[in-house]
């Protein structure tokens, strides 16, 4: 890097006072990731207001060799938006680029800036009778750009796919300041390989997403939310297949939670009452919505499906939410699982996937393997069974000191979980990305050919290595 002051003066010229700050009070809150694992330092924080401003800024960074760490809502799970401690990087806030364009109601799409917050998008879409079908815990802060950069998942992937499947068009600033612009969506376009897909999930290492044209779906007119108790993960999987056969595309959610998760919720939030009176080894939350073009209401289809499932022995017990408030209550229990587990004590968390059909076998093998290798720990797998993706958490033995346990046994446990996942042909990151948290594990366990391909593409598109250095690869 040349003299930082020369760069900062030029950047201030390009962005104006609202677009660049050196004030530690304004910058510090964004230098620690929201899970509190990483704290970095930055030369300054830039907040460009437009693609053109960002492009000019990136050209300056290239000229002065200043690394750039893009950040949306700072709600990522893997430290992907936190700079390193050297203080030589520019922290790039995308939050000012938060314009939502006109909704195209007939074509069900909207173009919006990378800084648009997910919940804001949800609310804007609803006002047009539409829905953006991706949601997750951090929706109040997560931005469109961050969701694209991490190819985020959530609880509606089963039907609608991850973020990448909802991106129809994309705009991004590349490492040398050129603008890649493909915001006008074409359903079919075979002019070479799909560059849009290259940027999705690249965690800001190949380009900085500035805007996207997103797919929307009709609002849910009616839904049926079911809470079921089942004896095993394997039966839960059979129940999933049964639901898919019975209602097809109308199946919007299928989440599993073990007994221990429900106990943790009861302890943590006594006001939340699990719907089933008896105890079950596994709990399943199912949502069926009125499908587009379906003439039968979801309640009728769901009731017939449940009856069938009982007859086939795929359920021990089930409760149907009687109204919207109760349905929200069912989901609240599911959404409280992570917090309830955190309250139980320190833990190491893994966002993993295996081939969908292998997930019950994986859970049945991995939970006892971990618990017996690490006496006193509790292993919990919960989440998106239909996607072959669970959050696999291992809770420290009672009385452990969080920091030292996580740095010692916790690290070894994570390696064991990742080894197991790899042996089952799975992924050590199903929906959170790699960031800095899993970079070494990816280097250790990833396919060497795939890793080298990613590095080759990275070097080709960012030869100076200025885009989000130290992340992913």
Contacts (CB under 8 A) with a copy of itself, residues 417-456: 425-434, 442, 446-447, 449-450, 452-454, 456
Query: Least distance to a copy of itself from the beta carbon of 453, Å?
Result: 5
Instruction: State which of residues 377, 389, 406, 414 lies at the interface with a copy of itself (CB under 8 A).
Output: 389
Among 174, 225, 289, 417, binds a copy of itself (CB under 8 A): 174
Report 229-248 residues binding a copy of itself (CB under 8 A).
241, 244-248
Q: Give whichever of 9 and 245 is closer to a copy of itself, judged by the CB atom.
A: 245
Tokens of residue 278, six digits: 């008896």
CA 158 to CA 201: how far, in whole Å? 18
Query: Using CB under 8 A, which of 387, 413, 436, 470 touches a copy of itself?
Result: 387
Burial class (CB in 10 A: 0-12, 13-18, 19+), 145: buried
What is the rounded distance in angstroms from the CA atom of residue 314 to the CA atom of residue 316?
A: 7
The phi and psi torsions of 452 (rounded to 5 degrees) equal -65, -40
Among 5, 102, 127, 190, binds a copy of itself (CB under 8 A): 190
216 binds a copy of itself, rule: CB under 8 A: no
Of the ranges 86-94, 114-122, 274-282, 381-389, which one interacts with a copy of itself (CB under 8 A)?
381-389
CB of residue 301 vs a copy of itself: minimum separation in angstroms?
Answer: 7
Count the residues of the shown chain that bind a copy of itself, applying the rule CB under 8 A: 85
Q: Which of 26, 241 has the CB closer to a copy of itself?
A: 241
Helix/strand/coil for 26: helix
Coil, strand, or helix at residue 273?
A: coil
| Radius of gyration of the CA atoms of the chain, in A | 23
Tell me the residue length of the chain. Answer: 473
Which residues ranging from 195 to 214 are in contact with a copy of itself (CB under 8 A)?
A: 195, 197-203, 206
The answer to whether 164 contacts a copy of itself (rule: CB under 8 A) is yes
Check if the beta carbon of residue 334 is closer than 8 Å to that of residue 285: yes
Whether the Cβ atoms of residue 89 and residue 69 lie closer than 8 Å to each other = yes
- What part of residues 5-24 is at the interface with a copy of itself (CB under 8 A)? none
Q: Does 111 bind a copy of itself (CB under 8 A)?
A: no
Q: Is 121 in the site for a copy of itself (CB under 8 A)?
A: no
The dihedrals phi and psi of 160, each to the nearest 5 degrees, come to -105, -10
Stretch that binds a copy of itself, among 249-257, 264-272, 323-331, 366-374 (CB under 8 A): 249-257
Q: Does 322 bind a copy of itself (CB under 8 A)?
A: no
Closest separation between CB of residue 431 and a copy of itself, Å? Answer: 6
CB of 206 or CB of 285, closer to a copy of itself: 206
Long-range contacts: 292-297, Cβ < 8 Å, 24+? 292/217, 292/218, 292/249, 294/250, 297/222
d(CA 371, CA 395): 10
Q: How far apart are CB 139 and a copy of itself at their closest, in Å?
A: 18
151 binds a copy of itself (CB under 8 A): yes
Cα-to-chain-centroid distance, residue 238 = 26
What percent of the chain is helix, strand and coil (3-state, nearest 5)?
Answer: 40, 20, 40
Binders of a copy of itself in range 71-100 (CB under 8 A)? none
| Angle (CA) 90 93 99, round 5° | 150
Residue 109, strand partner residues: 104, 215
* 334 part of the interface to a copy of itself, by CB under 8 A: no
| Residues 250-279 within binding reach of a copy of itself (CB under 8 A) | 250-251
> Is-contact 40 468, C-beta < 8 A?
no
Q: With CB under 8 A as the contact rule, which of the stretches 67-75, 130-138, 295-303, 391-399 interacts with a copy of itself?
A: 295-303
Sites for a copy of itself among residues 352-371 (CB under 8 A): 353-357
């Amino acid at each position: 890097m040349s003299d930082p002051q020369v760069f900062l003066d030029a950047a201030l010229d390009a962005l104006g006072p609202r677009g660049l700050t050196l004030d530690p009070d304004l910058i510090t809150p964004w230098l620690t990731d929201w899970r509190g694992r990483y704290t970095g330092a930055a030369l300054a924080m830039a907040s460009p207001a437009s693609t053109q401003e960002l492009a000019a800024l990136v050209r300056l960074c290239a000229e002065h060799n200043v690394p750039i760490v893009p950040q949306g809502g700072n709600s990522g799970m893997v430290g992907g938006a936190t700079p390193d401690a050297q203080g030589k990087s520019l922290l790039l806030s995308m939050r000012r680029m938060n314009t939502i364009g006109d909704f195209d109601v007939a074509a069900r799409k909207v173009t919006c800036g990378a800084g648009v917050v997910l919940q804001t998008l949800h609310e804007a879409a609803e006002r047009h009778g539409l829905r953006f079908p991706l949601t997750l815990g951090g929706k109040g802060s997560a931005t469109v750009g961050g969701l694209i950069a991490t190819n985020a998942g959530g609880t509606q992937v089963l039907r609608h796919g991850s973020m990448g499947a909802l991106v129809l068009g994309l705009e991004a600033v590349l490492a040398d300041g050129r603008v890649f612009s493909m915001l006008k969506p074409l359903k079919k376009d075979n002019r070479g390989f799909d560059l849009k897909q290259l940027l999705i999930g690249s965690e800001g290492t190949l380009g900085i997403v500035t805007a996207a044209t997103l797919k929307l779906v009709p609002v849910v007119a009616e839904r049926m939310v079911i809470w079921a108790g089942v004896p095993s993960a394997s039966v839960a999987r059979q129940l999933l297949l049964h639901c898919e056969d019975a209602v097809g595309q109308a199946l919007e959610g299928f989440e599993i939670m073990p007994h221990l998760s429900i106990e943790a919720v009861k302890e943590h939030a006594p006001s939340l009452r699990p719907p089933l009176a008896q105890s079950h080894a596994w709990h399943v939350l199912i949502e069926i919505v009125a499908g587009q073009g379906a003439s039968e209401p979801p309640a009728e289809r769901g009731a017939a499906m449940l009856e069938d499932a009982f007859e086939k022995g795929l359920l021990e017990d089930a409760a149907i939410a009687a109204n919207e408030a109760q349905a929200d209550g069912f989901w609240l229990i599911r959404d409280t699982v992570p917090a309830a587990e955190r309250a139980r004590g320190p833990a190491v968390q893994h966002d993993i996937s295996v081939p969908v059909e292998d997930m019950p076998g994986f859970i049945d093998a991995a939970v006892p393997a971990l618990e017996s290798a690490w006496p006193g720990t509790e292993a919990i797998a919960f989440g998106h069974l239909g996607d072959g993706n669970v959050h696999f958490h291992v809770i420290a033995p009672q009385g452990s000191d969080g920091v030292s346990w996580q740095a010692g046994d916790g690290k070894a446990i994570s390696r064991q979980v990742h080894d197991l996942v790899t042996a089952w042909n799975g992924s050590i990151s199903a929906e959170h990305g790699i960031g800095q948290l899993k970079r070494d594990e990816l280097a250790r366990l990833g396919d060497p050919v795939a890793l080298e391909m990613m590095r080759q593409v990275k070097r080709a598109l960012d030869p100076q290595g200025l885009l989000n250095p130290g992340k992913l690869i």
